[in-house]
Structure 1
Amino acid sequence: MLANLMDRYGRLNDDSSARLETAVGILKETPKSRLITSGWNYRPDSSIMIAHAMRDCARNVHGIAPHRILTDSSARDTVGDALFVKRNVVEPSHIRDLTVVSSAYHLPRVQQIFEFVFGSGYRMRFVSTQIDHTRGVEKSEIASLAAFRSTFDGVLPGDTEAIFQRLVRKHPLYNGTVHPAF
């Protein structure tokens, strides 16, 4: 499941909470499945990784057993969620079936990014929560998708190493433009 935001104490906002509730519902319906949380410590006023905040909420609020939760704290955005979950969790664990959970307004972009990053050979299902969003989110999602396409133009879908190299060279959240270089 993809996170949205949290406060400085690691409390998830309504969007992240709704995504987690949806993911936990799916998890409870499929006893052999696992929850993957993703995301870094993006807040300058906190050292908490959002992946850890979601993991802790899944454990402490929803009662999910720790062995059913996999966590990666490398991602700084949706592209990073897809790439680092694939590279650091899915591939080493030999996972082939994925259900990706996000908000309805975010899911069209999520689906295109995840399908590109994972390429063929994976079964993916995309599930959305229904949560209100502020005006202008649609324009932001369209602009973000256009930036994604431009950044990864010429890279083959599913080529994990080429996607990683392009990410750390060209993406402003990873190449040192906005945050320290990855």
Structure 2
Amino acid sequence: MPVAKARRSNDWGFPRWRGYGSSREATNVRICDRHSCDEPGDCPAPKAPNSPDRWYFCQKHAAEYNSKWDYFEGLDKAEKEERAKAERQESSGYAEASHYGWAGSGDGSRSADEMRALDVLELEADADFVMIKKAWREKAKTVHPDVKPGDKAAAAEFQKLQLAYEVLKTAEERREWRG
């Protein structure tokens, strides 16, 4: 009976020292659930509120899907406020750590006020301050009290644009100051 010859291992007795990819097994890669997308689908997204079923999208399509997601859909105003308050309390640690500047615009680092201000200016969440200033100037020129004197609706719209710009300008200055 032949004796099996012992092979020497390169891991020195520590299996976690083996190199990544040293195994030969095939790995399962889930493809994005978006029609005609061949990217790996590694970002789960809920199919419906409070449902365990998930879509699996690539990063690009997950961002597209989440941009239209309304977390507060179907709730009345009081319930929305209560849920938002609970969310703020649960995420207070993240809010406290935001001064470290680990996040950039467009990735959840903008406040709800900033997002509303961007909606007033009809801009996307990842708009930089140059785009914000340009959009504000274009819109403010059309409803400025000097252009439309005596027009109450135009004055209200100008005040709304001015407030949105101030919110975004203050946030930008705060980001620049931090880092």
| Same fold, TM-score > 0.5, yes or no | no
Q: Rg larger in 1 or in 2?
A: 2
TM-score by length of 1: 0.24
Higher relative contact order (CA 8 A, sep 6+): 1
TM-score by length of 2: 0.24
